[in-house]
């Protein structure tokens, strides 16, 4: 109250208005997942390893069960599989007790050589990725990557990718941050390595729902790939062998599944990425934010 008993007016410029700062420049960085996004069509390598891991303990798991936690750090993946009622019941029946955290760590150690072997056997780049890389680098766009693999697994992936002609400008593994996906820390760490300031100038590309959630939590544009990754689950050879009607049915299911991830865009594979970047650049120039 003022001295004369009248209410003191609030400064209009401070209270009644807010100002929004918008990034209107072009995309500066694309951050991709590895398996199922830029390499290993159908994201087969992790699945082959998980199936073999549980089979070695006389536990048969389905691909659907093995794929459900995809995108997470691999010990988290194992922990979530063991928590599934169908798998935990089998474990209890065979082992005579519930799975423990010690079991998770033991399985993780057993998983490592299986994963390294399957990475070597599933090392083809996604068709069209090298052409997309040339297009993006021609625009001055930096290429980052992150992964649910640990550093040893990633070293194998990186070697296979280099032999095929691709190397990311920066990479971060789930074991290098305090929390993996869906937390945004891996994507943010890649931004730091690339020297990119604005999250709005970055695109996160992934074939899993948790990878898309990571990008959204980081404030980035997000692009989900439907056919080359986890939602499809078929190798390129298996996919190519399908008849047209079967391909159409699988494609519709995969696109619908990835649309539910909340991604800004859903594409079939990274071969379709340049058109998406052009559209995002137009939106950014018009002031649209992710």
Beta bridge partners of 204: 31, 222
Give strand ranges (E) for the chain.
29-32, 142-147, 170-173, 202-206, 221-225, 265-267
d(CA 26, CA 6): 52
The strands making up 29-32's β-sheet, listed across from edge to edge, are: 170-173, 142-147, 29-32, 202-206, 221-225, 265-267
Cβ-based neighbour number of residue 240 at 10 Å: 11
204 is catalytic: no
Residue numbers belonging to the annotated binding site for Mg(2+): 33, 35, 207
95 is catalytic: no
H-assigned helices in 122-260: 129-138, 151-163, 185-194, 209-217, 236-241, 244-259
Residue numbers belonging to the annotated binding site: 33, 35, 207
Which residue among the candidates 74, 204, 206, 272 is catalytic per the annotation? 74
Which residues belong to the active site?
Answer: 33, 74
């Amino acid at each position: 109250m003022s001295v004369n008993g009248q209410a003191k007016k609030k400064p209009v410029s401070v209270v009644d208005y807010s100002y929004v700062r918008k990034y209107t420049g072009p995309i500066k960085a694309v951050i991709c997942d590895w398996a199922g996004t830029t390499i290993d069509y159908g994201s087969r390598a992790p699945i082959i390893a998980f199936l073999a891991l549980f089979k070695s303990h006389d536990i048969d798991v389905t691909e659907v069960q093995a794929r459900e936690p995809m995108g997470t750090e691999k010990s988290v993946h194992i922990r979530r599989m063991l928590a599934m009622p169908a798998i935990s019941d089998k474990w209890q029946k065979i082992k005579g007790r519930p799975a423990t955290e010690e079991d998770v760590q033991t399985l993780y150690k057993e998983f490592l050589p299986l994963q390294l072997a399957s990475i070597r056997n599933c090392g083809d780049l996604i068709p069209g990725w090298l052409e997309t890389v040339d297009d993006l680098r021609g625009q001055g766009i930096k290429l980052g990557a992150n992964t649910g693999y640990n550093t040893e697994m990633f070293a194998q992936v990186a070697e296979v990718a280099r032999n095929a002609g691709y190397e990311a400008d920066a990479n971060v593994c789930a074991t290098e941050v305090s929390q993996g996906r869906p937390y945004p820390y891996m994507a943010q760490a890649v931004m730091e390595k690339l020297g990119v300031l604005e999250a709005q100038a970055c695109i996160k590309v992934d074939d899993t729902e948790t990878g898309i959630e990571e990008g959204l939590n980081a404030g980035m544009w997000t692009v989900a790939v439907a056919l080359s990754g986890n939602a499809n689950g078929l190798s390129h050879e298996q996919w190519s062998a399908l008849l047209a009607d079967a391909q159409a049915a699988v494609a519709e299911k995969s696109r619908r599944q990835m649309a539910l991830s909340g991604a800004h865009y859903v594409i079939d594979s990274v071969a379709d990425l340049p058109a998406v970047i052009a559209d995002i650049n137009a939106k950014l120039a018009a002031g649209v934010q992710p």
